[in-house]
Every structure is written in structure tokens, then in C-alpha cells.
Amino acid sequence: MKVSSTNNNSISTSNLSKFYRSFRAVNSLTIDVSPGEIFGFLGPNGAGKTTTIRMLCGLLSPTSGNAKVAGFDIVKDSLKIRSIIGLLPESSGFYNWMSAEEYLLYFAALYKIDTHLGKKRAKDLLEKVGLATKSFVPISYYSRGMKQRLGLARTLINDPKILFLDEPTLGLDPKGQQDIQKTLLELNREKKVTIFLSSHALSEVSSLCRRGAIVIRGRLVAEGSIEELRTLAGSSSGLVVRILNSPSAQKELSSLPYRIQTNTTDNNRLIDVNVSDGVSESANDIIDRFEKAGLQIYEIRRMGMSLEDVYFKLTEAKKKEDQQAHPEAQQQEPKSKEEQRQRHA
């Protein structure tokens, strides 16, 4: 299958919406994911993340708006999209009587992959996700974490150029989470795979993603690089330079041409120097000035909110804004079972 060259491996939506009667699961969502990036998709339960992924994968038709995946229209070209992407849903179904190898070979056959190539990919993937020694064990004996690893292997069996992952490390222990994250980084760096990552593990998103979007109640709250999201949340972007304390340290600091805030740590042995944002010099220039002033640098780090802080600040601000603008607009609860199911998707 030849991927469209117009938007090769990218994802874009324009006013994408999905309504269930009065319930708006996704409401006028417009986002852009560049080719070859790992894009974080964040939001609380019921924000419309899973519904969005289903639409982008051609599994659910939108009510209005449009979107393209690898240049293909999600409605007109849904079969083409499904053949070139990998999808790991939050809850995967497994044929428990099969072994892991049989399971992967079954999906390789569905993708019409040559038998010899399918066997090689299955073997390589089971090794990659740490299930090589359990490849002939029935899936019914697998733990939740082992099934999650197998689900990722299945997602990769067709060598996709775009991955949609919904909580990929759910149920994994810390070592398993680290292994999956390493695999995703390798896919992105070595094969330039575009990854659309929906996760509640904000530390995971922060470490893997350069850009992301936050949605709440089906609407986009913010989109941009992690630093841009921090700026939107009012976070400073200066430097924290930790230096060794000395009798002359405060005097030397006062001679530097910056607006500096300091506080002592570790029983006055260290001083944290917060160099405010807005300084035109690069980080290297700032460090040079500290060293020329005879200050001994112990540690350097960027100032800024954690992604968790950014997420909570932006989502809470959006909730307050909606309440003030429409105090009476408490969304009607969906009545049908289908609406209830989608409400929590």
C-alpha cells in the first residue's frame, strides 16, 4: 500500500465532531500532528480521547468535520487507513486458546503478509516485547501486563508508519513501562513512526512527547509543545542554577546582570539561583558568566511546571470558564446504553 505523499505519516483534523443526540463526545476538534513525532493526547475520563482515536482509525464515522491520516480521508479511505496504521486500544480482545505466536501469525495472515515474513516478524516482535520465552504458552495464562505487551506486538505486525496508542502501559509494572517506552522511542527514532499517544500517565507523556493537546468535554483546551503548554499555564521558563555556597557567593551573585531570586538548600551548603525568563542570553552564556564570577556550579535545570501541574491548571481553568459562561449548561446525561458507553469512551 502506497501512502499518500501529500501528508505522509501526518494526522490532521478540522472541526471534527461526534454527537450522540444531545451528548457531544467530540466537539469541533482541530489538531495537527507532524510526520515522525510522538504526540500526546491528554484529558480526563469522558473527554472524547477514545472516540477521537476510533474516528481517526476509520472505526467510527464523524457527525461533522473532517480528518486525514497519512493524507487519506478517514471516511472515504477508512480501509486504506486501517491497512497502514497500528492501533492499541485501551481494552484489547484476545483469543485465549491461542499461543502468542499463533495470535501474531493469525493477524499477519489477515494483513496478507507472506508466511515466511510473518513468522520472522512474530519472532522478532515477541523478542522485542519480552515474551519470547512465553511464545507457546496459551494466552489465557498471561497476566494483564503480558497481554498488554502482546497487544503492542500485534499492533506492530504490519510494520505501520502511524501508531495510535490508548494507554499503552496500562497494567504494566515499572520495568514493563520502561520497556514499552524504550520500544516506542526506538520505533520513532529508527523508523520515523508517527505515534499518537493517549495516556493518563503524564510523566510518560512528558518524557516521550515534544508536543501534545489537552481536551476536556470533547473540546480542545490547548495544543502545542510542552514548553508552549507551560507558558499557557503561566509557568516561568528561566533557569535554576544550583551553586556551592561560600562567603563570597552572595556578593558575586549581586554583580551579575540578571533579576535573580535565591534560596539556600542542604543546610546552607547549596544555593538555588533562579534566573528569570526574558533574559536574551543563551543558557551557555549564562553559565559562562557564573563561572567567570568564580561561582562553582553544582547543577543546572530548566525552571517550569511539571506536565501534571500544567494539565491540572489548564483543565481547571477551562472548567471555570465554561461554568461562568454557561452556568445552566450542565450537559444532559445520555439516556441510551450506547450513549452511556460513549460518554465514558
Beta carbons of 201 and 43 less than 8 angstroms apart:
no
Looking at residue 341, what is its pLDDT?
53
Residue 11 has a pLDDT of: 96
Residue 4's pLDDT is 45
* Torsion from C-alpha of 19, 22, 24, 30, nearest 10 degrees: 70
Q: Give CA–CA dist 154/145, Å, rounded.
A: 14
Whether the Cβ atoms of residue 139 and residue 100 lie closer than 8 Å to each other: yes
**pLDDT at residue number 294:** 87
Instruction: Give tens-digit pLDDT for 35-44.
Output: 999 999 999 8
Task: Determine which helix (DSSP H) or strand (DSSP E) holds 128, and give its type and residue range.
Answer: helix 115-128
User: Are the C-beta atoms of 275 and 241 separated by less than 8 Å?
Assistant: yes
pLDDT of residue 342: 52
- In which residue ranges of the chain is pLDDT below 50? 1-6, 329-339, 343-345
Distance CA 242, CA 120 (A): 51
pLDDT value of position 335: 47
- How many C-beta atoms surround the C-beta of residue 194 within 10 A? 25
Report the CATH architecture of 239-302. 2-Layer Sandwich (3.30)
Quote the CA–CA distance of 155 and 85 in Å, as a whole number. Answer: 8
Give domain limits for the chain.
11-231, 239-302
Predicted pLDDT at 2 = 46
What's the whole-model pTM score?
A: 0.75
CB 279 within 8 A of CB 221: no
Other C-beta atoms closer than 10 Å to the C-beta of 195 total: 23
Top CATH class of 11-231 equals: alpha beta
CB 229 within 8 A of CB 314: yes
- Which amino acid is residue 20, in one-letter code? Y
Q: How many Cβ atoms are within 10 Å of 82's Cβ, its own excluded? A: 17
